[in-house]
Structure 1
Amino acid sequence: MSTPLPSHASVVVIGGGIMGCSTLYHLAQMGVSDAILLERNALTSGTTWHSAAQVRALRHSRNLTRMIQYSVDLYARLEEETGQNVGWIQKGSLSIATTPDRLTHVKRQEALAHAYGIEAASISAGEAKERWPLMNADGVLGAVWSPDDGRVSPSDVCAALVKGAKSLGAKIFERTGVTGILTDQGRIKGVETTRGTVMCDAIALCTGLWSREAGAMAGAEVPALACEHFYLLTKPIDGIVGNTPTLSDHDSHLYIRDDSGGLLVGCFEPMGKPIAPGVLNESFEFGLLPEDWDHFEPMMELALNRLPALETAEVKMLLNGPESFTPDGTFMLGETAETRGLFLGCGMNSVGLASGGGAGMNLAHAIVHGHTAYDLTEADAKRFAPVFNNIDHLMARAPEILGTHYDIAYPGKQLVTARGLRALPLDSEYKAAGAHMGQFYGWERPLYFGKTEEPTLRFDKPDWFANVAAEVRAAHEAAAIFDASPFGKIDVTGPDAEAFLLKTCAGFMGRAPGSVIYTAVLNARGTFESDITAQRIADDHYRLFVGTNAIKRDLAWFTRAAEGFDLRLSDVTEDYAVLGLMGPEAARIARELGGNLDGIGYFKHAGATLAGVPVRAARLSYVGEAGWEITCKAADAATLYTAMTRAGATPAGLFAQTSMRIEKGFCAMGHELDSDVTPVQAGLDFATRKTGGFTGAEVLAEQRDAGVASHVISLALDDLDAVPLGHEPIYLDDRILGQTSSCAFGYRIGRPVALGHVSEPVADGARVQVDIARTLYDATVTLGPLYDPDGERMKA
């Protein structure tokens, strides 16, 4: 007789794939002994069972790499802990390059590996051939060898996780479908199943292919869609003796390894095949989709070139199994914005087995402790604009995301599908000015102006170099317009507005109306949840300006912190346009438009009229030149912009803004600032209240008392042709000191520039080296801004 469902569980995990099994195991490890897992069919059904299960540690960021390194350690530990073999085969991986740009790409990855403590080495085409004798090495320019990579058995890993979870009191219920999710006032209360109702405090949604529909049961947006994913299996062939390294020929979109004496040849073709909702119904368990040789044929031709032995190999099957993909190619992890207690662990983008151990640990950590074990903002469940949950947009985007799996990481690369979803108020004006657009939170935003053709992406001096130079020059010598309209805008109104912001913000929020306030928003650990500027419009009215990609996350953070306060939070992002008028001619232009803004002090704001348009002008600068961020009604933006340009202002894009920001040493969320970093460590303690009273204040006080110093530095590179992109290792005396975090060409100082983090104090003026694709470039450290360190230009 089957075990009855409990009437209550602290946490219900829905889904019995790698993410569900890992999350349950880690919940039990963290003391949640009454957690249960519900699986509609059988464990590992859906996607996990047919995974190629490669575990490659290196990812584009330190913490994603750290997460997979945890997976590797966990899988090895599970065998000792549970006695269950997980099929770990550690034969390494070999990434070959057949084009110069791919060689640069893999050498950048090698440099990253060194920064993250992963063994990796460049080898020649001949050495690559020695490691993979069946490979045709014609056209191979070089390779990178990573000896610590491997693969596992999906079913065995899940069996070990389940065994470990059960030993700690957790329970698994297969053949138990969830038919509904119960909520009350936006909070999880329980689940309805085919075997009864279970009340609970939290849900971990690890439902893989069906996550979008499962999230909708709880009123949450989960933008993920399944695509077909192919790999070829052959019968045994001569030359395969034992296990082989994984061979990655990403220029041909292929990954290759042995399988039962034969070959497994998988692909991430340039454009995948989406699977419409409803095709994979509840009876799809250990199913596969039909073979599609026509679709696979171009990949097969490339595979035959790389592996001549395939020509005479006997095909066992062309496996076509579904995988789920998100709009940006990274999984979703953490609590949703819409529903308290609903946590996502889904949209794994074909890296479920590699990520599953570490991702499951972090998801359990978020449920138990309220945050992941380290910063995983890039995977935050709240990062997508609602527009991406549209099924038509997902059907267009997900196949492209599958194809980008093996893309070369060119600077400035943009996706081409699901574009034009959100237009700025000045969209038509920008297109008329030759704007090249990038997509951010669904918004189409100018990157630079003056080129209408698509740029050729490259690792050396970019096609847009001269365009950005002209825009920076305009801001430095005359006047430029920077569009900040897509920044999120949250109005805080009500009698408790000041008290609420004094609690949630570390800055000097009690300043009088008419003030502009820069502030960190911290968590209880004293690290960044956000950094924002606020305009105090009245005693009971503030307007918060948050990052473009952060509006959903930040609004959820403030909303949850507002319980018990008498106030209202309103998202007014799309009601207003914000134009930054910057440069030495900005004041003249404002006067010509009928508004004398000279009387507005630095970090002050006031109402005015420009070109007949009511505006609020705030005197501050993100680019280090004098000017104002001017807010107007969205409908009035075209009138204001036309008048500014006729008076001599030039539109400037995001690339120019980023270059100027880095020269000024201004930190940005997701680059220098994240939930692993405090204001003290980022050199921003000057903008926090020393009297405390805000969330995280105690941690900052402890760090000050301990003498913790800023670990953010500025770098100016000697070689004018160097092109740092970010994440490059910084060397001091042949050892890695840190990494770059934001990089650009600094047009005002005439050389490549970067911001970076270092792990120990370094002297102002120190000489270091930056590793760009395994070439070391000399650079000088500056503690503070590279350009106008005293801020005289922007305060003039």
Structure 2
Amino acid sequence: MTDTLPSQASVVVIGGGIMGCSTLYHLAKMGVTDAVLLERNALTSGTTWHSAAQVRALRNSQNLTRMIQYSVDLYSQLEKETGQSVGWIQKGSLSIATNPGRLTHIRRQEALAHAYGIDARSISAGEAKERWPLMNADDVLGAVWSPDDGRVSPSDVCAALVKGAKRLGAKIFEKTGVTGILTENGRVRGVETTRGTIMCDAVALCTGLWSREVGAMAGAEVPALACEHFYLLTKPIDGIIGNTPTLSDHDNHLYMRDDSGGLLVGCFEPMGKPIAPGVLNETFEFGLLPEDWDHFEPMMMNALHRLPALETAEVKMLLNGPESFTPDGTFMLGETAETKGLFLGCGMNSVGIASGGGAGMNLAHCIVKGHTAYDLSEADAKRFAPIFNSIEHLMARAPEILGTHYDIAYPGKQLKTARDLRKLPLDSQYRDAKAHMGQVYAWERPLYFGKDKEPALRFERPDWFENVRAEVMAAHEKAAIFDASPFGKIEVKGADAEAFLRHVCAGQVGRAPGSVIYTALLNERGTFESDITAQRLTDDHYRLFVGTNAIKRDLAWLRRHSEDYNVTLEDSTETYAVLGLMGPEAARIVSECGGAALNDIAYFKHAEAKVAGIEVRAARLSYVGEAGWEITCAATDAAALYAAFTQAGAVPAGLFAQSSMRIEKGFCAMGHELDGDVNPITTGLDFATRKSGGFIGADALEAARARGEQSMMVSLILDDEMAVPLGHEPIYQDGKIVGKTSSCAFGYRVGKPIALGHTKQLLVNGSRVQVDIARKLFDATVVIGPLFDADGSRMKG
């Protein structure tokens, strides 16, 4: 190791586990050969060294899967590149199901595998027993076999990554603790260590268990907390010869494989044990926590059921090593909202080795090129509401997240801990109306109304099916209230407001005050950062409405592009409530409430008015395809406005009804149809961009038009009324996968299950396809455009 700490480096990587080593390696590969890695103890001495190190490629999204596929390719190539063995053992993985819900879940995963080019196939319980002879298969209903999965040696992988990085000039300093991160005007400037200070342009924070505390040194929120994680190791037993596949018995919260002739039995128990900050300090090096047999006992009983040979096995140890978990179970990757130049690669939720190769590549890509190699918005470092950084909430949520690691992905599933953190102005009214609430960016939002008990979760037609039908029909035949209050609201004010928004927005933001503008926020690649609705209030004041969970990300994006403009940006989300009053009786209701003037507002225009004696700003637009307004008022006035509307006959409607109606209308949504991998052309939204250019991404869009890119968005209507598509299902035509669904629902106004989807080739209106739902093919018809009210006459009133 080099002895002298440099005074300057382009990038400093903090943390010598798998994420730090991978990030350093990839920075060096990308030409940042003066990058430095700092580790306060020894490489891999935190979580990495005791990882079970399984590499299972299939995840619940295409790009997370793609990322792990990259890890597999990297680990196999590292040995050739560096001469350092990584201990890659490719014996496959076996996922078994012992109840019908799990069987559907793993078959949905198998369908995804086909869409993502991964070899995975259903096998019988008998074949599963053949692949794992020690397994008790009496209660197994079926299984999915993935032959390409495997495992590695964590320390050897890190040694190979470090060897490759050092060959290219990168430097590693062990026994070098970070004592502070220097910032100036919200930007990283350097790192203070126990051996001196290094000035730098960027910091990659890959500090695992200690990430929240290290992030705080730079003023950034890093909501991650350590939990205890257990696995049992036995001495050699009869029946284990060589290496075995990894056996996943997720119904019993277990994973199992061979280890040195014995068994390794690990668990993600239903509720984990959190580790309070400060328990793991700077002296925790290659450390373990005390065995806890009382806590492990229920998992041990499950393991004895699945592997009867355990009964006579001699225990080597019950390993208890800490792992870090985030509030939603996905890692954090990318630049923080609070501090420019501070990049996170942490909170790996026990998939650090599998993810590490691809995640390190993407983090390095983000540092060097300003964006990940492909869309990883589900792992965006800016996705959490600030309240989730509270220790109280992390101590409650992290143990539940550990327990959800092997959950069945039932639609509508909600977490139970750290709830009621942010309540809507109408929270009590919604609960009085028997709202079933869901958490979005810490807000409690109504999913549907009229709940009489906790819904039973399943993959078939859900418990709330008729509740949602009633809400959709109310909006379609009478009037319904959709609460858009938690949508982010950003006030853009100043002499340069229009010029600034013309720079960052692709839409026609130069319209006169009183206009509503739909616009994309694009990056230099011409792909989506966000999509927003803007209301121009005056010449120098716009109000932007952004997605509920996008406020932190979008505000950071806008602020970082506003430095050369005379504008101020303010988050006014909680100042205002927004009620969408939609349906054919909406006009009567506002008139009865003294707001007849709202009926004079043209489509995509807004105006101030008085309704029920309350000052409001009403915008004529519709996200659900029925005529009405999105009405903004002071949050303190929401209860009176809601009371007036409901007394006049309107009823509340939830997110599930809104989603169904959105999909019927073919409206795209961020995180579903729109992300950093697609542009307005391929998603059918080029009509909302300025062809004169002058905005971020305009050149890339023009190049895409010149290449002849076209919309690849389709709507689908399924023949079988009982089919339940959920999203991410492969679309087949003539036996070949031609695309994938993105948003799905039952379309109550069209009377059939429906979907939006991306295709890889142009499909014509009326053509026939099939949708793979848990390995069963359902016939569907392609529709180019909306499934309901194609010309938009209903919503324009």
* Amino acid paired to 2:768: R
* Deviation by residue 1:478-529 (Cα, 9 ceiling, x = unmatched): 0000000000000000000000000000000000000000000000000000
Where does structure 1 lack aligned partners over 5 or more consecutive residues? Answer: none
* Amino acid paired to 1:336: T
- The Cα shift of 1:699 comes to 1.4
Q: Percent identity?
A: 81
* Amino acid paired to 1:324: S
SS at the partner of 2:290? coil
SS at the partner of 1:794? coil
- The Cα shift of 1:706 comes to 2.2
**Counterpart position of 2:125:** 125
Distance 1:694 1:399 in 2: 45
**Counterpart position of 2:542:** 542
- The Cα shift of 1:701 comes to 1.3
SS at the partner of 1:574? coil
* Amino acid paired to 2:650: A
* Deviation by residue 1:134-188 (Cα, 9 ceiling, x = unmatched): 0011100000000000000000000000000000000000000000000000000
Distance 1:331 1:452 in 2: 36
**Residue 620 of structure 1 contacts residue 627 of structure 1 at CA under 8 Å; is this kept in 2?**
yes
Where in structure 2 are the equivalents of 1:35-184 lying within 5 Å? 35-184=35-184
- The Cα shift of 1:702 comes to 1.6
**Counterpart position of 2:484:** 484
* Amino acid paired to 1:328: D
* Deviation by residue 1:298-348 (Cα, 9 ceiling, x = unmatched): 000000000000000000000000000000000000000000000000000
* Deviation by residue 1:90-135 (Cα, 9 ceiling, x = unmatched): 0000000000110000000000000000000100000000000000
**Is residue 195 from structure 1 mapped to residue 216 from structure 2 by the alignment?**
no
**Counterpart position of 1:218:** 218
Where in structure 2 are the equivalents of 1:251-400 lying within 5 Å? 251-400=251-400
**Counterpart position of 1:413:** 413
- The Cα shift of 1:704 comes to 1.7
SS at the partner of 2:794? helix
**Counterpart position of 1:554:** 554
Distance 2:485 2:147 in 1: 48
- The Cα shift of 1:228 comes to 0.2
* Amino acid paired to 1:535: Q
**Counterpart position of 2:629:** 628
**Is residue 580 from structure 1 mapped to residue 586 from structure 2 by the alignment?**
no
* Deviation by residue 1:53-75 (Cα, 9 ceiling, x = unmatched): 00000000000000000000000
* Amino acid paired to 2:704: Q
Distance 1:339 1:2 in 2: 30
- The Cα shift of 1:705 comes to 2.2
Where does structure 2 lack aligned partners over 5 or more consecutive residues? Answer: none
SS at the partner of 1:162? helix
**Counterpart position of 1:790:** 791
Distance 1:92 1:501 in 2: 51
Distance 1:511 1:527 in 2: 24
**Counterpart position of 1:750:** 751
Distance 1:785 1:151 in 2: 46
- The Cα shift of 1:700 comes to 1.3
SS at the partner of 1:233? strand
Where in structure 2 are the equivalents of 1:431-446 lying within 5 Å? 431-446=431-446
SS at the partner of 2:518? strand
SS at the partner of 2:762? coil
Distance 1:78 1:49 in 2: 19
SS at the partner of 2:444? strand
SS at the partner of 1:630? strand
Distance 1:169 1:140 in 2: 53
**Counterpart position of 1:599:** 600
* Amino acid paired to 2:8: H
* Amino acid paired to 1:417: T
Distance 1:403 1:2 in 2: 42
SS at the partner of 1:188? strand
**Counterpart position of 2:776:** 775
**Counterpart position of 1:684:** 685
**Residue 484 of structure 1 contacts residue 580 of structure 1 at CA under 8 Å; is this kept in 2?**
yes
- The Cα shift of 1:220 comes to 0.1
SS at the partner of 1:264? strand
**Counterpart position of 1:15:** 15
Distance 2:460 2:592 in 1: 42
* Deviation by residue 1:689-725 (Cα, 9 ceiling, x = unmatched): 0111111111111222222110110000000000000
**Is residue 667 from structure 1 mapped to residue 668 from structure 2 by the alignment?**
yes
**Counterpart position of 2:640:** 639
**Counterpart position of 1:229:** 229
**Residue 436 of structure 1 contacts residue 452 of structure 1 at CA under 8 Å; is this kept in 2?**
no
* Deviation by residue 1:333-390 (Cα, 9 ceiling, x = unmatched): 0000000000000000000000000000000000000000000000000000000000
* Amino acid paired to 2:640: T
Distance 1:707 1:661 in 2: 28
* Deviation by residue 1:547-592 (Cα, 9 ceiling, x = unmatched): 0000000000000000110010000000000000000000100001
* Amino acid paired to 1:203: V
SS at the partner of 1:793? coil
**Residue 2 of structure 2 contacts residue 173 of structure 2 at CA under 8 Å; is this kept in 1?**
no
* Amino acid paired to 1:366: C
**Residue 2 of structure 2 contacts residue 171 of structure 2 at CA under 8 Å; is this kept in 1?**
no
- The Cα shift of 1:452 comes to 3.7
Distance 1:163 1:786 in 2: 56
- The Cα shift of 1:2 comes to 6.0
**Residue 324 of structure 1 contacts residue 349 of structure 1 at CA under 8 Å; is this kept in 2?**
yes
- Give the paired residue count: 796
- The Cα shift of 1:87 comes to 0.2
* Amino acid paired to 1:134: L
Distance 2:2 2:23 in 1: 23
Distance 2:152 2:241 in 1: 18
* Amino acid paired to 2:30: M
SS at the partner of 2:392? helix
Distance 1:23 1:324 in 2: 18
**Residue 273 of structure 1 contacts residue 399 of structure 1 at CA under 8 Å; is this kept in 2?**
yes
* Deviation by residue 1:649-678 (Cα, 9 ceiling, x = unmatched): 010000000000000000000000000000
Give RMSD over aligned pairs: 0.6
SS at the partner of 2:87? coil
**Residue 274 of structure 2 contacts residue 398 of structure 2 at CA under 8 Å; is this kept in 1?**
yes
* Amino acid paired to 1:158: C
Distance 2:398 2:150 in 1: 27
TM-score, normalised relative to structure 1? 1.00
* Amino acid paired to 1:197: T
- The Cα shift of 1:239 comes to 0.5
**Residue 2 of structure 2 contacts residue 172 of structure 2 at CA under 8 Å; is this kept in 1?**
no
**Counterpart position of 2:619:** 618
Q: Which stretch has the larger CA shift, 446-455 or 71-80? A: 446-455
**Residue 662 of structure 1 contacts residue 743 of structure 1 at CA under 8 Å; is this kept in 2?**
yes
- The Cα shift of 1:759 comes to 0.5
* Amino acid paired to 1:723: V
**Residue 665 of structure 2 contacts residue 789 of structure 2 at CA under 8 Å; is this kept in 1?**
yes
**Residue 268 of structure 2 contacts residue 402 of structure 2 at CA under 8 Å; is this kept in 1?**
yes
Distance 1:301 1:61 in 2: 33
* Amino acid paired to 1:354: A
Distance 2:140 2:18 in 1: 35
**Is residue 728 from structure 1 mapped to residue 721 from structure 2 by the alignment?**
no
TM-score, normalised relative to structure 2? 1.00
**Structure 1 segments of 4 or more deviating over 6 A?**
none
**Is residue 563 from structure 1 mapped to residue 563 from structure 2 by the alignment?**
yes
* Deviation by residue 1:220-260 (Cα, 9 ceiling, x = unmatched): 00000000000000000000000000000000000000000
Distance 1:369 1:283 in 2: 36
* Deviation by residue 1:187-229 (Cα, 9 ceiling, x = unmatched): 0000100000000000000000000000000000000000000
Distance 2:322 2:707 in 1: 52
* Amino acid paired to 1:669: M
* Deviation by residue 1:382-430 (Cα, 9 ceiling, x = unmatched): 0000000000000000000000000000000000000000000000000
SS at the partner of 2:558? helix
Distance 1:706 1:764 in 2: 23
**Counterpart position of 2:610:** 609
Distance 1:567 1:43 in 2: 46
Distance 1:701 1:44 in 2: 47
**Residue 435 of structure 1 contacts residue 452 of structure 1 at CA under 8 Å; is this kept in 2?**
no
